[in-house]
Amino acid sequence: MIIAQITDLHLRTDGEKLKGMIDSVAALQTCLDHLGALRPRPDVILATGDLANRARVQDYATLRRMLESVGIPFYVIPGNHDERGLMRETFSDRDDFPKTGEFLHYAIEDHPLRLIGLDTKSGDRVGGEMCEIRLDWLRARLEERPHTPTLIFMHHPPFKTGIGFMDKDEFIGADAMEALIANHSQVEGIICGHLHRQITRRWAGTIISTAPSVAFQMVLDLAEAAPSGFVLEPPACPIFLWRPEMGLVGHMSLIGDFGPRHPFVSDSAK
Ligand SMILES: [Fe+2]
Ligand SMILES: [Fe+2]
């Protein structure tokens, strides 16, 4: 099973450029063309939040149309920029989309690796949250299939990254979530967005990562008082390979034209 993650699309479909310089629709199309051309093709695409930049219904309609055109099953969860109501309006006719309850979280059972999408949006805050209701829901999901390998996808990373201007927005409920995950060894990994960079660490006895954005990247500055900023480093999308005998292996696929594949030649002098 091959899982592609796309994150932080920050779509603007009003004809204006994102931050005055980024064509977010074109960036998403380039990313989807890239994924569609991979061989073998991914089995699923997980879109881990900040799907729209200012969350208007036409942003989500465009997103759905573009994702459907790839022909790969996809699952979406909200980030801090998203609106649950508009996402429901756009996706709730799908059988697998959550129909009831406040939060847009769901478990996807029809793949070899069980997928659990979480909703970490916290009101109008930039930071994330796992409140008691969401922790109880996650606990129930993990307890119902304790021996099934599971990948969790969510928007906000529940750990400090060293990117100071992002870390200042607290993740509410991080310690409680960490204790819960530590009790469930079937969690093969947790993948997040929000940081617009690739970051990996051990957390709660599993591997947790964030991913580059489809549209723009946060500047890599690990000084504690570093000012906020973004850069136009190349976009990329993580590609996870799951095989029962191998476990979950994460690759990073840079999006861009880097020329053809060059075969190695047998003459070692070349
Ligand atoms: Fe974002
Ligand atoms: Fe975010």
Instruction: Please tell me the number of the ligand nearest to residue 218's CA.
Output: 1
| 60 closest CA partner among 30, 84, 33, 42 | 84
Q: Does the pLDDT of residue 268 top 80, yes or no?
A: no
Q: For residues 6 and 192, what is the distance between their CA atoms, to the nearest angstrom?
A: 10
CA of 250 to the centre of ligand 2 (A): 22
By DSSP bridging, strand 236-243 and strand 114-117 are unpaired
Q: Does the pLDDT of residue 270 top 70, yes or no?
A: no
Instruction: Please tell me the number of the ligand nearest to residue 122's CA.
Output: 2
Instruction: Please tell me the number of the ligand nearest to residue 52's CA.
Output: 1
Q: Does the pLDDT of residue 229 top 90, yes or no?
A: yes
Q: Does the pLDDT of residue 99 top 90, yes or no?
A: no
pTM of this structure: 0.97
Q: For residues 207 and 185, what is the distance between their CA atoms, to the nearest angstrom?
A: 11
Q: Which CATH number fits domain 2-254: 3.60.21.10, 3.90.280.10, 3.20.20.70, 3.30.420.40?
A: 3.60.21.10
pLDDT at residue 267 in the model: 72
pLDDT digits (tens, 9 = 90+) for 187-207: 999 999 999 999 999 999 999
The residue ranges of every structural domain in the chain are 2-254
CA of 82 to the centre of ligand 1 (A): 10
SS (HEC) of 104-148? CCEEECCCCCEEEECCCCCCCCCCCECCHHHHHHHHHHHHHCCCC
Instruction: Please tell me the number of the ligand nearest to residue 154's CA.
Output: 2
CA of 157 to the centre of ligand 2 (A): 10
pLDDT digits (tens, 9 = 90+) for 100-144: 899 999 999 999 999 999 999 999 999 999 999 999 999 999 999
Q: Strands of 150-153's sheet, edge to edge?
A: 106-108, 114-117, 150-153, 187-192, 206-210, 199-203
CA of 144 to the centre of ligand 1 (A): 32
Structure tokens at 186: 């079937």
pLDDT at residue 100 in the model: 86
